[in-house]
Amino acid sequence: MPVAAGCAHDGGAASGSSGRTAGDDDRSTQAAAPSSATRITPVTGTPRTVPAVRSFTARGGPGWRPSSAVRVVTDTDGPLADEARLLAGELKVTIAPGPARAGDVELALRPGQRGGPESYELTTRDGRVLITAPDEAGVFYGTRTLVQSVRSGGGVPEGVIADAPDRPQRGLHLDIARKHFTAEWIEARLREMADLKLNQLGLHFSDDQGFRIESASHPEIVSPEHLTKAEVRRIVALATSLHITVIPEIDSPGHLGAVLKAHPDLQLRDATGTPSRGAVDISLPGAAGIVDDLLREFTPLFPGPYWHLGSDEYRALMARDPQGSYPHLADLARQRYGSQGRVQDLATAWLNDRAAVVRSLGKKAKAWNDGFFRGGLVAPDQAIEVEYWTGRELGARDPQEYLNEGRTVVNLNDQYLYYVLGEPNEFRYPTGELIYKEWSPAVLRGTAPVAAGTADPRRVPGGRFAVWCDHPDAQTPDQVANGIRLPLAAVAQRLWDPRPPKLPWQDFTALYTAVRGG
């Protein structure tokens, strides 16, 4: 295994053969640059990475291989210092302020470089590597390409890699409400995601079975097994350093069983007085009050731009006759919106009100597709991103409808991207092979893509692979981690480049094993 095959992200630069540390003046005791005689075997072929690079222009030359004399060169007090320290630790070399010399890897920002903020160019020439990008995220992804190329081929071939993701949203959605995962387990997933150039982690931390983050405003709702706020800050800090945005989710007005356990007076009941599992009664001011308390408390904990409001599977709207089954909600809808008012109008107003709360706190709202209804007197706020997961629900709308309305739709297609513990309700654990061969960002529901020309990156900005813990004891955390690795790698490939992959599946899995490292 090449020298970079040790565990990634070990927290900083290792000492080089000279025993010097990051930031030391390289003019005195640094090891001399390697001579051409020490680089016997040239690096040839195409860089082999997951996801695959989108463009490589080969040039004549020996390429680049790591050695003990290599330095990672950048401004050691500048914006790329963290990326440099991480890369140096993985290569087991030092960092230095430059200037770069033969054998070195140089990191540099180039504002205005074409390709977008996550794009990068990696140039291998004259025995050195230069990684440039318009933004820090692009440089970081360039370092991931370099490390994977070392792991899979011993180095980087001579030439220029020009690379950028096709979709700006690429990630993993994790249900930590039904099953408690430790901070360390989540951090390990973040490191794996970063190596795959994924940039979003959704955390669904409130549901019927548990509320999993410490709360000051409502400590009575918190489950015994939970993350402390200090642990969440640590998770968010690691994610930020790896250019991953954490998207928190408090689902409402359904999936609030953990809140209702402590506040049964807020429970929704049907016409017979039967409690509706997990649903708050949206006619009660106290229901909105407690949810908004939580939104305001937790928003500062997550500095990213998004907040997920859930809004799926509200029991009142899963009934075949919502007005007849929940007459007190139907009466309120008519009072507020006139004789044509319906229960769905109350639910849509609830969603819009919660979106207004998070917008006032600087967040862009997301919600599940079954929280958006056709018709009605109240329309869902156009700015809320649709997270399309299913066409199985009663009255489910085709994803094409949302696109035709001009909405932004994110892909979490439950046919391919739902890993549901225990496989209830005819779910089956998804395979990386099917994702790799059949799925693309345009395949939002079932197996068929939406209409040609309607799933461009502006309208379908990406997707996430989702882990749901309906039967939390069906798998251990280690089994979950092992079960999602290949599917997540396949998702990363198809979101980075939605074109049919060039490698056969067996070759892709072998490559992923090679580039994973420790």
Question: What amino acid positions are annotated as catalytic residues?
Answer: 313
The structure tokens listed for 413 are 């297609």
Distance CA 490, CA 439 (A): 9
How many CA within 13 A on the CB side of residue 474?
17
Q: How many helices (H) and strands (E) does the chain have?
A: 14, 18
How far is residue 114 CA from its own chain's centroid? 24
Render the burial of 442-465: b for 16+ CB within 10 Å, e for the rest: bbbbeeebbeeebbebebbbbbbb
| One-character DSSP codes across 219-284 | GGG--SS-B-HHHHHHHHHHHHHTT-EEEEEEEESSS-HHHHHH-GGGEEE-TTS-EEEEEE-TTS
**Prior bond to 99 cis, omega within 30?**
yes
Neighbours of 199 (CB within 10 A): 24
The structure tokens listed for 352 are 């819009």
Find out whether 184 and 238 touch, Cβ atoms under 8 Å: no
Where in 333-404 does DSSP place strands (E)? 364-368, 385-388
* Rounded to 5°, angle at Cα 171 from 299 and 110: 90
